[in-house]
Structure 1
Amino acid sequence: MAQSPYEAVAPYLSLGRVLLLSCAGWLVFKILQALYNISPLHPLSKVPGPKLAAATYWPEFYHDVLLTGRYTHEIKKMHDKYGPIVRINPHETHCADMAFADEIYAIGGRKRDKPIHQINGSAVGTTNGFGTPDHDLHRSRRVPVARFFSRAMIARLEGDIHDLVQKLCDKLLAEGSKATEGDGKKKEPFDIAHAYSCFTSDAIFSYSFGEPLGLLSRDAWTPNFREATLAVLKPVFIFRFFPFLIATSRMGKHLVPYLPPDAALLIRTLQIDIPSRVYKTKHDLDAGISYDRPTVFGDLLQSELDESEKNPERLADEAVAVVGAGTETTSWALAVITFHLLSQPAILDRLRAELLTVVEDPRHLPAWTVLEKLPYLGAVIQEGLRLSYGVSSRSARTPTEEDLVYRGEWNKKPMELVLPRGYAIGMSAAITHHDERIFPDSYSYIPDRWLDEKNEFRKDVAHGMMAFSKGSRACLGKNLALCELHLALAALALRVMPHMRLVDTTQEDIAYDHDMFVPMAKSGSRGVKVLVELANGSIPSRTFNPVVPLPSSGPDADATRQGEPSKAQGAGQASRTNLGRPRCSIMSGTWNDDLDPRLGIITPVGLPLGIITTSSIFLFFSLLFTAIRSHVRRQDRVFGWDDGLMVAGTISHVASVSVGIAGQLTGIGTRDVHLNQWRFEESMKIHTVWLLAYSLAMTLIKASICITLRRIAEAKRSLRIVVWVLLAITLVSFIAAFVGTAVQCIPFEAHWRPYLVAQGDAWCAPTVIFIVLGYIATVCTIVTDAALVVVPGMLLWKTQMKMQAKLQVMGLMSFASLASLITVVRIPYVQKYGGLKDRHYWCAMIVFCSIIESSIGIIASSFPSVRRFVRRLRNNGTDPTENSCQPNTDDIITFGGGGGGSGGASSKHQGRGSKPSRSAFHNPTDKGISLTTVKGRTQGEKWERLNDGDSDKRDLLRKESVKGIRAQYTYTVEVEEDTDGSVDARSKSRRSLE
């Protein structure tokens, strides 16, 4: 019997032989693959570089894994030998020419993927924005996170960073005030990078999640994230070559009880605390619970991302990437800058001199937008970023839809290379930041290289920076990092560095030695060791004293020169002596009495700027629509009481918007920490005036709308009663709001000077009364707006009009009800009047919603006239829906009021000395609906009954000698005969909308 193929080879299929054959097969495959990689058939064959690196990944593995992150040094040697473009592995090239950076890191619609080989080396996975390979998916994931780190959002949340900066300085100065140890040993120096790591960790958590980690609140600088982060980053290069091992990093949360304190804190935070926060935020949002303060979780969960992208586990990975990118890179930059400032006192002195031109109290720094305008401070920071590199590991991109063409020069000869699509090309900050053509003497710390002869920032030098990467995948947290650096460095230079000195620290302790995704100094480096030493062993006393403008002459000036307080200063001191740190009980507001009292008008950013811009736009359209309405109504000779009230309401609205904008410039929309006493009082004064102006404006606007409704409902007694009730409600709510605001505090100035109440010099009603008045006004507004939908609907529903025409008219007349949507949005903020914190900030939201509400009321109620005006413009001054014949002179009484008819038949039928007719037929609501009284038929007078279809026949058009109704109008007449045979007729008429 013949053997089967299996039986024939079975004796040779031992386990050892199978493994040997498998290894031999794999080795043959790799050899063939390496030969292909260096053959002319490979798309990268023309790119210069060492053949071994082109053939296999082994050189990269040797330098990055076995020698620990030193392949960047090898790449630098390749550039020195082969030129600006080199091939560093079989599928990737590297560029050292910054002139080509804009092609590699393109923006706009030029797609750039991120190579998976690089993502594996960051250990962040592919579920977050940083590790997303695909260009389009990355873009959709980046948008909501980028919005959270925008300049506008930073301006909104900057106050938290200010607080943490001062906390950092206080803790550093406390180091200098510590007494010597009990055994007589001197204080030990500490690594300033650990202190900065505590600061940046607290800052990114406070900014992103609404509360800090609390590292700065601990007694010591440990535990912190720095050492733990470096420990976690050690295996990243192994992950690059063996990506299946990344899953093992998820096991850390199970080992927390057995880890050192630093590592346990990091793992617990990243793998336990952050995911828990995501699930809690999602649960709260699903339950309808909203947060006053934005968080990165809330923004992502409420963004327009696909639901699959809002998976809590993915969002937790996104947050981990944000935290990881926002801690060690910024803290190391601060450490490098600190080393150079302490080792070069002349640079520190120049920096302090520039800072003192804008900083009057280092405990209360100006806004980031002010500090970033200081040229030398910016130069110091940029030079520190250049030598700290940000992420030092190479950053590659893969062009997917285009070949890149490099044209440059090497060895004084022109060169051109075509880099095919689908293959990665990258750059490294650790190499480009030492391009001697851009940064001469590049290893030296020279801030002046960033400034030209006019002391202005050099954009050509800035183009050589890679600290935040470039292009569509540039660092999301760039704005936040720069904000932290400006604020921290300003406070440190003025408060701490004069008392700080380096201890056993040299240039080698901060010089770049190798990569672990972030730059690392040589093995065995002690870090940036410093000591804080105070002259008398105590924290320096406050160097800033609140000042009021000093008089230039007179007895107050003389007293001031002699060292005595002026009357103005004395009053201020007295008030503070009586009240201590003022905390306002009325309206539950506060101000910061440590803030410079000379600070006045606020430069609007964030919420105040948005309110000013939006209010101005709505005010423009309100004025425009009211002007058009008045013009059309006067032209039609139907200008009535409702129009006059709307004009008055618009004028009051102008006052309301103007006062509201003034409030944004003095403190409304600003957090308590940025309010001194002047800002607090001035903004509250303006806000009180705004409340009165707004109440008057809304009352006039609503009254105008109610009168329009009353005129429409003339023929319906029940509806007239409803409208009268609405008008009464409007007036009562106005009186309640206006009078309640006016008499809530006695004297009136106690509204903005709450300390008068604390001193017993004033009285104010409980805040809850004011809140109740706000709710009453809100309810009245919603009821009035609802009537704008109900009343026109009841009137139009039974009329002989096409359904399309009914809906058009109802839509026009109920458009103002949209204001109710804004009113509903405003409801939660009314309660903020009773809050204990940031009342001025929440008042801005009320102002914002109220101004939009008033504007919509004005615009919507004027919309029919604007519509008619636009029709006339399109038809050379005539409305095609208007009657081309002479006005009807029968006794048809419309709800427009006004004078008599305009010429034509009207004048012919009136003879000399005769009583004029009440009005020619003019429908003031855009020739829409008219419920009017028609003169009844007298005895002996014959009327002809017309069908609906007959009314459109041309032969029934009215002639001069024949009385009747023009074909353009259709009447339904309800005839009621009295006992004496006389007839009373009520008619409903409509004008064709076609």
Structure 2
Amino acid sequence: MALTYSVSGGIQMLLVGGLLYSIGLLFYRLFFHPLRKIPGPWYAAATSWYEFYYDVVLDGQLVRQYPILHDKYGPVIRISPDRIHVSDPSFFREVYANNSRYLKDSGFYQAFGTLKYSIVMLIDPEEHKQRRNTVKSLFSTRQMDQLAPSILDVVRRAMNRAQRSYDGGAPLNIQALWSSVTAGLNMTGGGKSFAKLYKDEEMPPFLDAMTKFADNFLLTKHFPLMNRLAVGLPMSIAGMIIPGFAAFRKQCSEWIGEIEEKQAKGLTTASDGRPTYFDLLLRSNAKMPNGLNREALVDEAFVLCFAGTDTTGIGLSLGTYYLLKNPEKLNKMLDELKTVKTNAEGLFEYRELCNLPYLVKILRLSSPVPGITPRRVPAGGVYVAGHFLTGGSTVSQAIRTIHDNPDIFPEPERFIPERWLGENGWELEKWFVPFSKGTRACIGLNVAYTEMYLCLANLFTRFNMSLYKTDDNTTQWADGPAARIRESVKVNIDSIKM
């Protein structure tokens, strides 16, 4: 009896203690927290469950809330107990500038545990600079001339897939096709044989695991411990915790194993003589006393493939949608392409397409990464729109709030490539930030542009297409590690032009 009473009394004490702690924490956040004077919903200031609700329960809708909240509370809002969101283009340029004092937020970028060693997640500017300098030659404009033939090889495969769809009279899931294209290119850039990635030119098997992980990414943002648990568990159990994550990471680990085996044989370049991403990293390792360990290499493989696949893939998919939805814009692009010469196969080469405005600016409407990239306010704090942000607090500005700003882009929801052709075109360029800005901008943006040039130009000049069960409703976007849409973009291949 005494033991039972003691146990029940202990449980009651824990419950009461937990309740008192929660009340005290709530009281502190609302009335004593350094960010207490920042406007915003009181329940967002009180608990991170507000973010969780829009991120997870409503599946990536928090970014869509920002304009609503800013309209109500002003350009600076407190979106969670410790995080500020700003909607101010000039502040964006300050935060995401070259050599910015606003460092990446370790609470966000290092929380994912098993990805923390990748170049995207690095916090220290010097460490990032060293890693970037090691591999930046692979992503230079000059390197695109050498990479373009590999991209054209992928374009040929994509066109063969479209041809088969036409021959069979079946709709084509062009979003899956573009994802296959971008994934294949990212993997070959890392040293994987493109031919081995595909069977009968269908979607690479790892894309399913990658897609499942993307769909659960925001859940792991709020519960990062799930990543660490998933890696150490049997695949069948890990797949239930975070669908796709463990399977995809296992494939990345096997990929690194193949590269290490190749290096052990003295093979330090791809078959065409070019060093791959991991050849350069391992070459750099040999010169450093403390190089990257295997876990860090797996992190790089994971992020290299994931980031390059989803971002460019969604840009190509929605670009296809906007062009088919706006035939007058498509016709202008096709007229422009008629002035450009093709090679002996009738395909466009990269250098011939570099300055055509219709091929890249569609990224503004299809912002590949619409959400936040959090930064830490530097020591001493800053004033933004009359509000003081304390040093060390977390601040962000979603890319989508730049691209959807009507003061910069009138009628931002409309697909208007012509806006880039007028006298204000160069002025708009500084607000065109699909891959962020500054020294921490996406290192692969030149690759993304090259893929988009070659894929869209060649496919649209070879085939007449129309949308199939795809409209504004099915293409509603949601946030994630990259933008996601409700249903894949699908097309009919109506006829062949040449």
Q: TM-score, normalised by structure 1?
A: 0.46
In structure 2, the residue matched to 1:904 is: none
Equivalence map 1:627-776=2 (5 Å): none
Residue of structure 2 aligned with 1:466, choices 420, 429, 433: 433
Matched, 1:249 2:216: no
1:168 to 149, 158, 161: 158
CA 1:171–1:123: 2 relative to 1, 3 Å: farther
Aligned-residue identity in percent: 28
Residues 103-142 of structure 1: matches in 2 within 5 Å?
103-108=94-99, 110-117=101-108, 119-120=110-111, 125-142=115-132
Separation in structure 2 between the aligned mates of residue 263 and residue 11 of structure 1, nearest angstrom: 46
CA distance in 2, matches of 1:361, 1:282: 36
Which residue number in structure 1 is paired with residue 493 of structure 2?
532
Change (3 A) 1:113 1:190: same
CA distance in 2, matches of 1:263, 1:241: 18
2:200 is matched with which residue: 205, 209, 219?
219
Match for residue 381 of structure 1?
A: 360
Q: Which deviations, in whole Å up to 9, do the C-alpha atoms of 1:634-691 show, x marking residues without a partner?
A: xxxxxxxxxxxxxxxxxxxxxxxxxxxxxxxxxxxxxxxxxxxxxxxxxxxxxxxxxx
What letter matches 1:279 in structure 2? E
1:501 matched to which residue of 2?
466
d(CA) in 1 for partners of 2:274, 2:251: 22
SS state of the match for residue 339, structure 2? Answer: coil
Which residue number corresponds to residue 413 of structure 2? 443
Does residue 1:195 correspond to 2:177, yes or no? yes
Give 5+ residue unaligned stretches, structure 1.
Answer: 1-9, 179-186, 408-415, 542-994
How big is the shift at 1:322?
0.8
2:381 aligns with one of 400, 403, 407: 403
2:62 corresponding residue in structure 1: 71
2:245, 2:203 → 1: CA distance? 12
Shift of the alpha carbon at 1:361?
Answer: 4.3
Aligned partner of residue 439 in structure 2, secondary structure: helix
The answer (yes or no) to whether the contact 2:382–2:391 under 8 Å persists in 1 is yes
Note if 1:482 corresponds to 2:482.
no
1:547-598 CA deviation, whole Å, 9 max, x = no partner? xxxxxxxxxxxxxxxxxxxxxxxxxxxxxxxxxxxxxxxxxxxxxxxxxxxx
Aligned to 2:167: 177
- 1:520 matched to 2:484? The reply is yes
Which of the numbers 276, 280, 289 marks the counterpart of 1:295? 276
Residues 239, 247 of structure 2: 8 Å contact kept: no
Task: Determine the structure 2 residue equivalent to 1:312.
Answer: 294
The one-letter code sitting in structure 2 at the alignment partner of 1:468 is: F
Q: Write the letter of the residue equivalent to 2:277.
A: V
RMSD of Structure 2 on Structure 1 (CA): 3.0
Query: 3-state DSSP class of the match of 2:190?
Result: helix
Does the C-alpha gap of structure 1 residues 268 and 502 become closer, same or farther in structure 2, counting only changes over 3 Å? same
Structure 1 letter corresponding to 2:123 = P
Q: Is the 8 A contact 2:461 2:497 kept in 1?
A: no
1:36 pairs with one of 25, 28, 52? 28
Asked if 1:55 is matched to 2:25, the reply is no
Please name the residue that 1:158 is paired with: 148
Pick from 333, 346, 361: which aligns with 1:351? 333
Distance 1:213 1:328 in 2: 21
Return the offset for 1:256: 11
**1:29-54 C-alpha deviation (Å, 9 max, x unpaired):** 23222222222x43222321112211
Question: Partners of 1:495 and 1:224 in 2: how far apart?
Answer: 28
Quote the Cα distance in structure 2 between the aligned partners of 1:447 and 1:540: 24
Q: Using the alignment, how far apart are the partners of 1:509 and 1:123 within structure 2?
A: 34
Inter-partner Cα distance in structure 1 for 2:420 and 2:363: 12
Using the size of structure 2 for normalisation, the TM-score is 0.89
Q: 1:207 aligns with which of 189, 194, 200?
A: 189
Pick closer, same or farther for the CA change 1:319–1:267 going to 2, 3 Å.
closer
- Go from structure 1 to structure 2 and tell me whether the alpha carbon gap of 1:421 and 1:473 turns closer, same or farther (over 3 Å shift): same
Q: Which SS does the other structure have where 1:293 is aligned? A: coil
Q: Which residue of 2 aligns with 1:714?
A: none
For residues 795-817 of structure 1, the C-alpha deviation after alignment (integer angstroms, 9 at most, x for no partner) is xxxxxxxxxxxxxxxxxxxxxxx
| Correspondence 1:232-271 to 2 at 5 A | 232-250=213-231, 254-255=235-236, 267=248, 270-271=251-252
Q: Would you say the 8 A contact 2:211–2:244 is kept in 1?
A: no
Tell me by how many angstroms 1:12 deviates.
Answer: 8.1
1:798-840 per-residue CA deviation (whole Å, 9 max, x = no partner) reads: xxxxxxxxxxxxxxxxxxxxxxxxxxxxxxxxxxxxxxxxxxx
Deviation for aligned residue 1:491: 0.7
Deviations 1:297-332 (A, max 9, x none): 110011267443421221121121111000011111
Tell me the number of residue pairs that the alignment of Structure 1 and Structure 2 aligns: 491
2-structure distance, mates of 1:350, 1:249: 49
SS in 1 for 2:183: helix
1:335 maps onto 2:317 in alignment: yes
Decide whether aligned partners of structure 1 residues 83 and 264 sit closer, same or farther in structure 2, where only a CA change above 3 A counts.
closer
Task: Tell me by how many angstroms 1:365 deviates.
Answer: 4.4
Give distance in 1, aligned partners of 2:260 and 2:87.
45
Q: Are 1:225 and 1:265, in contact at CA under 8 Å, matched by a contact in 2?
A: no
CA distance in 2, matches of 1:494, 1:265: 40
Q: Using the alignment, how far apart are the partners of 1:321 and 1:530 within structure 2?
A: 30
Higher relative contact order (CA 8 A, sep 6+): 2
Displacement after TM superposition at 1:510 (Å): 1.4
Q: Distance in 1 between matches of 2:354 and 2:315?
A: 17
Query: 1:879 maps to which residue?
Result: none
Structure-2 separation of matches of 1:21 and 1:465:
56
What secondary structure sits across from 2:396 in the alignment?
A: strand
3-state DSSP of counterpart to 1:437:
coil
Cα deviation, residue 107, structure 1? 1.9
The offset of 1:420, in angstroms, is: 2.0
Q: In structure 2, what residue type is equivalent to 1:437?
A: D
Name the CA shift for 1:107/1:269 in 2 (closer, same or farther; >3 Å): same
C-alpha separation between the residues in 2 aligned to 1:86 and 1:264? 33
* Aligned-partner residue type, residue 398 of structure 2: S
Aligned AA (1:243): P
C-alpha distance in structure 2 between counterparts of 1:278 and 1:387, whole Å: 38
Residue 128 of structure 2: SS of its match in structure 1?
Answer: helix
User: How far 1:268 moved relative to its partner?
Assistant: 7.2
Residues 220 and 282 (structure 1), Cα distance of their counterparts in 2 relative to 1, 3 Å cut: closer
Give the AA of the match of 2:134. P
Distance 1:46 1:431 in 2: 23
In structure 2, what is the Cα distance between the partners aligned to 1:371 and 1:312?
39
Question: Which residue identity is paired with 1:503?
Answer: Y
Distance change in 2, residues 1:64/1:119 (3 Å):
farther
1:429 aligns with one of 386, 391, 399 = 399
- Superposition map of 1:62-101 within 5 A: 62-101=53-92
Sort the Cα spacing of 1:482 and 1:13 in 2 relative to 1 into closer, same or farther, 3 A: farther
Does residue 326 in structure 1 map to residue 308 in structure 2? yes
Deviations 1:412-466 (CA, angstroms, capped at 9, x unpaired): xxxx22222211111112333211111211111111112215xxx7232222233
Deviations 1:258-317 (A, max 9, x none): 99xx96996277344323134324423xxx444332011110011267443421221121
User: How far 1:470 moved relative to its partner?
Assistant: 2.0
For residues 116 and 265 of structure 1, the distance between their equivalents in structure 2, rounded to whole angstroms, comes to 22
Following the alignment from structure 2 to structure 1, what is the Cα–Cα distance between the partners of residues 50 and 3? Answer: 40
Contact 1:363–1:491 under 8 Å retained in 2:
no
**Bigger Rg, structure 1 or 2:** 1
CA apart distance, 1:26: 3.0
Closer, same or farther: CA 189–17 of 1 in aligned 2, 3 Å: farther
The secondary structure found in structure 1 opposite 2:375 is strand
**Quick one: distance in 2 between partners of 1:352 and 1:426?**
39
